[in-house]
Amino acid sequence: MTFNRKLYRGIREGYRSGLEQAVAEQLQKEQLDFEYEPKDGRIAYTKPSSNHKYTPDFVFPGFILESKGRWITSDRRKFKLLAEQHPEIEIRFLFSNSKSRISKTSKTTYVKYCERNRWKYADKVIPDEWLEEIRNDQARNSKKNFKER
């Protein structure tokens, strides 16, 4: 196994991957608030015949951002169940390579899978449009909190 410096740095700094670390750095650079895998932010969902909990990567008022390097079958299944059981929650995906195939034997890419399920996705960095959406939501919440004082 080769040593991956970016992955190691991300894990050393409390993230599960180098991509999550890069996402956090981008959000910090943009001076945007976020919660990373909040302990009290777990979302319950049910796999057939069993209960499970999902901890989102990055939580914003309008959506959840999930950063994915490899997107294995169990993860795809989990997100389909979450979408079915929690239609009020929008989950968006940030891939290290959205053109990757979902398996060696499939022609389906992460892009095609997201499009088929009507999920928003991006490659490597958060799109400006999403960042602006986060800024606007945070500004609305700041004004709302100010008025409640």
Residue-level pLDDT at 11: 54
* pTM of the complete model beyond 0.75: no
Distance CA 103, CA 143 (A): 46
Measured in whole angstroms, the distance separating CA 24 from the mean position of its chain's CA atoms is: 11
Tokens describing residue 24: 């956090």
In which residue are the tokens 């009290």 written? Answer: 40
Residue-level pLDDT at 149: 45
pLDDT tens for each residue of 118-143? 999 999 999 999 999 999 999 888 76
Low-confidence ranges of the chain (pLDDT < 70): 1-13, 143-149
Domains, the chain: 5-147 (3.40.91.30)
